[in-house]
Amino acid sequence: MNTRINLLIQGSDSRYLTPEERQEVIDYTSGFVERLAVVAQIEENEEAAVRFCIDNTRKRYPNFDKYHTTAWAKAFRDVQLTTRYMAQAMLLDEIGILEEKLLFWLRTILAGLNFTPEFNRDTYTYLKQGFRQSLPPDIFAKFEPFMNRTIEIMSDFPMPATPAV
């Protein structure tokens, strides 16, 4: 559940919600069915978007697999996982879930493997392009802020001394 709504309901112990609080809950829940439909579209187009991402990243970084065992299979897995967390965060209308549950952790792991900020930025930009091509514009617009935040966080770390991409 959205953190704000969860806190609002927990904070209303022994009292009724105020009219403003009720409206906030209504506004959140009334968009839930629409967000579920967006997630269904994302799921339906995930394979094509992730494949587009990996294919284009592979062209841009042809030596990547020389540095990492099963590099492209792991990259596919990581991008797919990131897509699913972005979709979950969009469904819950809570970008913080995406950041806390995945992005900061994954960024740390990839930085430790000597990935570069540019490699991550390019990878997730290709994912965004893949979804832009495969989703209807109105659906893409609802998902785009979560992709933008992913690109921002995943490319915000220092350049490694010895890049491995």
Cα–Cα distances in angstroms (integers) from residue 112 to residues 118, 159, 164, in the given order: 15, 11, 10
Per-residue pLDDT of the chain (165 residues; tens, 9 = 90+): 678 888 888 988 889 999 999 999 998 899 999 999 999 999 999 999 999 999 999 999 999 999 999 999 999 999 999 999 999 999 999 999 999 999 999 999 999 999 999 999 999 999 999 999 999 999 999 999 999 999 999 999 999 999 999
Burial 122-161 (b: 16+ CB within 10 A, else e): bbbbbbbebbbebbeeebbebbbebbebbbebbbebeebe
CA angle 75, 78, 81 (to 5 degrees): 150
Which of 121, 128, 111, 125 is CA-nearest to residue 164?
Answer: 111
In the chain, the domains with their CATH numbers are 1-30 (no CATH), 32-154 (1.10.490.20)
CB 126 within 8 A of CB 75: no
Q: How far apart are CA 129 and CA 123, in angstroms?
A: 10
